[in-house]
Amino acid sequence: MSSSIEWKVAAERDLMNLGSRPRLFVRGEGSHLWDDEGTRYLDFLGGIAVNCLGHAHPVFVEAVSRQAATLAHVSNLYTSEPQLALAARLKRLAGTGEQGRVFLANSGSEANESAIKLARLHGNPRGAQTILCLEGAFHGRTTGALSLTPKAAYQDPFAPLLPGAKAIPVTIEALEAAFAEGGVAAIVIEPIQGEAGVRELPERFLARARELATAHDALLILDEVQTGSGRTGRWFAFQHPDVVPDAVTFAKGVAAGFPLGGLITFGAASELFSPGTHNSTFGGNPLASHVADAVLGFIESEDLLANVTARGDQLRAAVAEYPIVSGTRGAGLLIGVTLEEPVAPQVAAAALERGLIVNAPAADVIRLAPAYTIGDAEIDEFLNLFREALAAVAQTQEIPA
C-alpha cells in the first residue's frame, strides 16, 4: 500500500472496529520501529511488555527459523523436545521443585482461563465456588478472565459472566473479610496491576494472601502475564517478597513476541488436572516452545535481569525531575510515570508525534515497558523525547511546568 490513506481505509473496511490504529509499522530493529512513511520511532512500550529483546533480535530470528524448518506443530496428542525443555526451564526459574507442573497455551487470557479451571477443580469438591479478584484488576478479555476484570465498561456488554467471581478492595482488611465469609476456592492477584496504572500492592498484601489462602484451603494464583519472564528484575514478581503461590500464569515477554502463555503449578495444585479436563490444540507446539526456551536462555546467559533492574532505577530517577511528573511506581522495566494532571493520553499522543511509543493505562499514568536490552543510547533518546512531549502538553494545557 502506497499511502496512509489507503491502509487506513483498508483497516476500517476489513478489521473489526476495536480501536484506533494511528500508525502502520513495517519494520523493527532493536528498540526502534519504522512506519510506512519511513519515520523512525523509539519503542518504550514493547508491544505492551512483550518484546523483551526488542525487534528482530538475532536470538529470536534464529530460533524461529531453525525450529520452523525442523518441526512446527504436532498437536496436543503428542509431545516434543522443545516443549519438554521449556517446561523444565520454567519450573527451575519459578522454583517449583520436582512436584511442579507446566501447561502451555497461546496467550495470557488462555493462561488465566486455565487458572480459573484449576480453581474450580480445587474448590468444587468442597463446595467452595468463590474466586476472589482485586478492584482494578485486568486478567483478560475471554469470558472467564473478563469475569475477574471488574471494570464495567469491559464487563457490562457481555453479562452475565462467570458466577462466583468477587472483586474486593486492595486492602488487607478487605482481604481478611472476604476469606472470613467462607467458600473461597481461590484468589487471583497481579503482583503489580499493569492496566490499572502500574499499581503496586500494599506492603505485606501478598504475604497475607498466602497465609489466608493456606488457612482456608484456597489457592493463591498469581497473574504474572505482564510481570513475569523477568520484567520486574526477577524471573517472577512473587520472588521479590518470596511468597510462593499455588499457581502462576505467564505470557507476554516469555517468547519475545511469539504467541505463548501458560500456567505453572506448585505443590498439590499440580495434581488437579487430569486427562480430559483441559488442553489446547496449539498449546506447547514445538515452534513456540523452542522460541521461548531460546529467549529465556539468552536472558539468563547474558544476565539481562541485572540490566532490567539497573535501567529501571536509572529511568525512574531521571523522569522524577521532569515537568508535570509527580512520581513513579513499578519495578524493573515495568514503570508507571504518574502525572500531576489527568493528561496521560495527551502525553502519549504528543510522544508518538515526536517518535516515541508509550501508552496511558490510566488518565494520569504513562506506562513504560521497554526491551531488557536497552542501554545509555536508548535511555538518552527516550529522556529527550519524553521531556519534549511533557513540556508540549504542559504548555497546551497551561499546566505550570
The confidence score (pLDDT) of residue 21 equals: 87
The confidence score (pLDDT) of residue 396 equals: 83
Q: Which residues are catalytic?
A: 138, 223, 252
The confidence score (pLDDT) of residue 177 equals: 98
d(CA 21, CA 14): 13
The confidence score (pLDDT) of residue 401 equals: 57
CATH number of 4-57+303-396: 3.90.1150.10
Q: What is the pLDDT of residues 363-387, one digit of tens each?
A: 999 999 999 999 999 999 999 999 9
Name the fold adopted by 71-301.
Aspartate Aminotransferase; domain 2 (3.40.640)
Which residue stretches of the chain have pLDDT < 70?
1-4, 399-401
* Single pTM value for the model: 0.96
Domain ranges of the chain: 4-57+303-396, 71-301
